[in-house]
Amino acid sequence: MTDKQSIDIAQLPVMAEAAQQSYPTATLYVVATPIGNATDITLRALHLLALADVVACEDTRKTGALLTRYGLNKQMVAAHQHNEREVADKLVARLRAGERVALVSDAGTPAVSDPGARIVDAVRAAGLRVIPLPGASAAVAALSASGLVNDRFNFVGFLPAKSKQRESALMALAREPATLVIYEAPHRIVDCVEALASVFEPARQVVFARELTKMFEEVHRCPLGEALDWVKSDQHRERGEFVVLVEGATVETDAQDAEAERILNILLGECSVKQAANLTAQITGRKKNALYERALQIKGE
């Protein structure tokens, strides 16, 4: 972009519209911030942040650095997962005094796999106004670049950190026809892929969207059976925040799962849980670990 083009954009009428909109006082503004590229901030968010009396944020250092890039110097208060309830009361008091409060997370939208939901709940319970200012979304960005053709998606967020709980959570999603949207931290990406491979069939398409909007952004799609090799083939692929998309179950998969369930129930009447899972896996070709987890669930019902 040339300097002339930059000047032309700055003079477009839309640049003034943000300032002309209404930004009522005594209101909590839930503000989405960039997930990596600082220029993904919206004009409306910039104007609101300039007007805000205080910015409630996860990490004052990170948010302070971001605000500085926009030429803003605002009062901030830490609002993270360990102090949300306490901070919520203080923010409600400030709102009742007529202030504008901006709620942000380190990146993306507050209260969506990030702190903020308890604050929003407390503000609503106090009868005060909450206005969302949408912006960049890692989940939507990953879906848009995935090529997975599906009108539905199931936002799973972060899976449990413990292996048994993680497998159980995935088992409950095994027949879900919608695309699964999973967030994962770099130090758990290998565990995540191994858990996916133990539950879902290897032909399922999986998409890894890593470091979205950042310098080393990468979006890779492959069958689940090839996913672990891809992750491990480059040490850099175990760095950065991930969005993992898993293709939804097909009607054929649902039918196969139903047949496996029928066989498993029959065998559980004659065999131990382990034997029933092993035999069902041999008969149907389904994942033994997933069948074992399901057998435990059936026994507990």
**How confident is the model over 139-197, as pLDDT tens digits?**
999 999 999 999 999 999 999 999 999 999 999 998 899 999 999 999 999 999 999 99
Q: What pLDDT score was predicted for residue 245?
A: 98
pLDDT tens digit sequence for 214-224? 999 999 999 99
Q: What pLDDT score was predicted for residue 9?
A: 62
Q: Rounded mean pLDDT of the chain?
A: 90
DSSP string across 208-274 = EEESTTSTT-EEEEEEHHHHHHHHHT-GGGGSS-EEEEEPPPPHHHHHHHHHHHHHHHHHHTTS-HH
Category of 132 on φ-ψ map: left (φ > 0), alpha (ψ -120 to 50) or beta: beta
Nearest C-alpha neighbor of 119 from the set 166, 163, 83, 70: 83
Q: What pLDDT score was predicted for residue 252?
A: 66
CA atoms lying within 13 Å on the CB side of residue 180: 27
